[in-house]
Amino acid sequence: MLKKLNYSLIVGLSASALLLSACGDDLGNVNSDESTDSAETVAAEETEASGSSYSYDVNPVDYEPIEPHKDLDQEPVPVKMERIGENEVNIEMTAQITDIEIAPGIEYKTWNFNGEAPGPLLVVQEGDWINFTLHNMDPAIPHSMDFHAVHADPATQFADVKPDESGTFRFQAGSPGVFMYHCATDPVLSHIANGMHGAIIVMPKDGFPTDDEVDREFVVVQNEWYKYNDLENMMNMPPRQVVFSTKTLEYMADDEVDGYTFDGVNTNGTVTALTENDADTVLYAKPGEKVRMYINNVGPNEVSSFHVIGTIMEDVYLDGNPANHLEGMQTVMLPASGGAIVEFTLKEEGSYSFVTHQFDHVSKGAVGTIVVNESGGPEGGSMMSH
Burial of 219 per CB tally in 10 Å (0-12, 13-18, 19+):
buried
For the four alpha carbons of 254, 258, 263 and 269, in that order, the dihedral sign comes to: negative
**Cα–Cα distance between 7 and 56 in angstroms, integer?**
6
Kindly tell me the burial class for residue 131, based on how many C-beta atoms sit within 10 Å of its own C-beta (0-12, 13-18, 19 or more): middle
Q: Is the Cα dihedral 172, 201, 90, 133 positive or negative? A: negative
325 annotated as belonging to a binding site for a ligand: no
**According to the annotation, is 234 in a ligand binding site?**
no
Longest CA–CA span in the chain (Å) reads 58
State the Cα–Cα distance between residues 108 and 130, nearest whole angstrom.
Answer: 31
The candidate with the shortest Cα–Cα distance to 200, out of 242, 247, 161, is: 247
Q: Which residues pair with 216 in a beta bridge?
A: 291
Q: Is 135 annotated as a binding-site member?
A: no
CA distances (Å), origin 108, targets 61, 218, 228, 230, 376: 12, 26, 7, 13, 34
Tell me: is residue 191 an annotated ligand-binding position: yes
Cβ-contact 198, 181 below 8 angstroms: yes
Q: Annotated binding residues for Cu cation, as ranges?
A: 143, 148, 182-183, 191, 196, 357
Could you tell me which residues are annotated as the binding site? Answer: 143, 148, 182-183, 191, 196, 357
